[in-house]
Amino acid sequence: MVTVYTKNNCPKCMMTKNVLDAEGISFQAINIDEDLNPNEREEKIQQFKGLGFMTMPIVIKEGMSTDEYISGFNPEKLQTLKD
């Protein structure tokens, strides 16, 4: 399963979801502004910052190590998510 963490008003988030859709890669989108309560949101932001990520979206495939997470819009890396 692929999870895409997004936020409101994020063009890179929309472009990432569009590429995943176009490639037929199923995913779950979690909007940190709408789908998480304030405490969960802050914890997730701190987790991502702690990993060195400063931009959204963050794309995670089940089984990935944290150094394989995809941050920002990166169509080439998104291609690697195909099964």
Residue at 51 is within a domain: yes
Per-residue CA distances from 81 to 19, 39, 45, 64 (Å): 11, 30, 23, 10
Q: Which two tokens stand for residue 61?
A: 């495939």
Over residues 20-70, the pLDDT tens digits come to 999 999 999 999 999 999 999 999 999 999 999 999 999 999 999 999 999
What pairing do the DSSP bridges indicate for beta strands 2-6 and 27-31?
parallel
Residue at 26 is within a domain: yes
pTM as predicted:
0.93
Structurally, the chain folds into a number of domains equal to: 1
Return the CATH number at 30: 3.40.30.10
Residue at 11 is within a domain: no
Residue at 54 is within a domain: yes
Average pLDDT over residues 8-19: 97
- pLDDT at position 82, please? 85
